[in-house]
Amino acid sequence: MPVDPDLAGREFPPTAAYDVSRSQIAAFATAIGDTDPVHHDVDAARAAGHADVVAPVTYPIVVAFRAMRALLEDPEVGIDLRHVIHADQRFESLRPVWAGDSLTARLGVESLRSMGGSDIIATRTELTGSDGELVCTAYAKLAHTPSEPT
Amino acid sequence: MTALTPGAELEPVTYAVTRADLVRYAGASGDFNPIHWSDRVATEVGLPGVIAHGMYTLALAGRAVSSWAGGPDRVLELGARFTKPVVVPDDETGVAVTVTGVVKESDQPGVLRVDLTVSVDDSKVLGMARALVRSTDA
């Protein structure tokens, strides 16, 4: 089944606030093998000029992914999870993510186009802090290849 | 630390990625897609075996750029296309992912571009991989 042809321009409701903890940042850094103390130790982070433990560059995906799930799991959108791949990702950071942040993600579909039998869905997800300040914009492209009609 | 000046080739870094890393990453990121931990599911969808999350590979690129730039807060932009799956064997050594970078001018003052090459066995796994970083003297 192809995806909803009217998907372009659709805006999804914001996710519930996600509270970023020191432990989560340390666990994410450990998973990617990053031992830089600014991710693990609040004193080291403060010595480097941060308010608190600072997240690795791609950490915003954790929150952006929660917004992506609203798109992937909406039956009206028509995405088959077995046939979707993450094709492209880009982050524009206005500031790093710190422990203590409470982040909300809002996803919009920028464009939908067809290429070589696949639907390319370009999304933009804005992450904002508790005061509404924009922290990071995450751009993701998904390639969805509908299964052959049987 | 290699100075971030236009034309500089940054010190290449190689990171080992094992199945255990992918399991940790699944937990830390919330992405539990079974192609990143189950050979059965990975082969059912036509992959040669379990592959790393594209975001895991991009995270390694971010790690390299952060270390070159002098901290994660100096990285203003990071992006890539996921062009080739990174197969992670079920053994102790895993797969070696190498990140290299070349510094270029950008069109913004105080900001430099780093063009990244991310490869496994000399074969690129990310396309158009690049970062924008605050220059170290900014």
Number of domains into which chain A is organized: 1
- pLDDT, tens digit, 9 for 90 and up, residues A113-136: 998 889 999 999 999 999 999 999
Residue A116 lies in a domain: yes
Residue A138 lies in a domain: yes
The domain ranges of chain B are: 9-134
Does the pLDDT of residue B138 top 60, yes or no?
A: no
- Smallest CA–CA distance, residue B45 to chain A, in Å, is 8
- pLDDT, tens digit, 9 for 90 and up, residues B5-17: 999 999 999 999 9
pLDDT band at B137 (very low <50, low <70, confident <90, very high): low
Neighbours of B24 (CB within 10 A): 18
Neighbours of A47 (CB within 10 A): 11
Structural contact between residues A100 and A52, judged by C-beta atoms closer than 8 angstroms: yes
Question: Which CATH class for the B9-134 domain?
Answer: alpha beta
Residue A124 lies in a domain: yes
Q: Taking residues B24-53, report their average pLDDT.
A: 94
Angle at Cα A32 formed by Cα B97 and Cα B91, nearest 5°? 60
Provide, as residue numbers in chain A, all residues whose Cβ is less than 8 Å from the Cβ of B31.
65
Instruction: Compare CB distances from A34 to B30, B63, B78 and report the shortest one's residue.
Output: B63
What pLDDT was estimated at residue B92? 94
Q: Which CATH number characterizes residue A74's domain?
A: 3.10.129.10
- pLDDT, tens digit, 9 for 90 and up, residues A42-100: 999 999 999 999 999 999 999 999 999 989 989 899 888 778 889 999 999 999 999 99
Report which residue type is found at B114. V
State the Cα–Cα distance between residues A34 and A27, nearest whole angstrom: 10
State the Cα–Cα distance between residues A143 and A118, nearest whole angstrom: 6
Contact B65 A24 (CB under 8 A): no
pTM: 0.95
Q: What are the Cα distances from residue B69, in Å, to A44, B10, B107, B112? A: 17, 10, 18, 10
Sign of CA dihedral A93, B14, A29, A46: negative
- pLDDT, tens digit, 9 for 90 and up, residues B47-90: 999 999 999 999 999 999 999 999 999 999 999 999 999 999 99
DSSP state of A60: T
Structural contact between residues B36 and B49, judged by C-beta atoms closer than 8 angstroms: no
Angle at Cα B47 formed by Cα B33 and Cα B128, nearest 5°? 80
Structural domain span for residue A133: 5-20+59-144
Which of B94, B104, B106 minimizes the C-alpha distance to B52?
A: B94
Count of residues making up chain B? 138
Does the pLDDT of residue A150 top 50, yes or no?
A: no
Is B21 in CB contact (< 8 Å) with chain A? Answer: yes
Contact B79 A66 (CB under 8 A): no
Residue with tokens 């990244």: B116
What pLDDT was estimated at residue A2? 76
What pLDDT was estimated at residue B64? 98
Average pLDDT value for chain B: 95
Provide, as residue numbers in chain A, all residues whose Cβ is less than 8 Å from the Cβ of B65.
57
Does the pLDDT of residue B131 top 70, yes or no?
A: yes
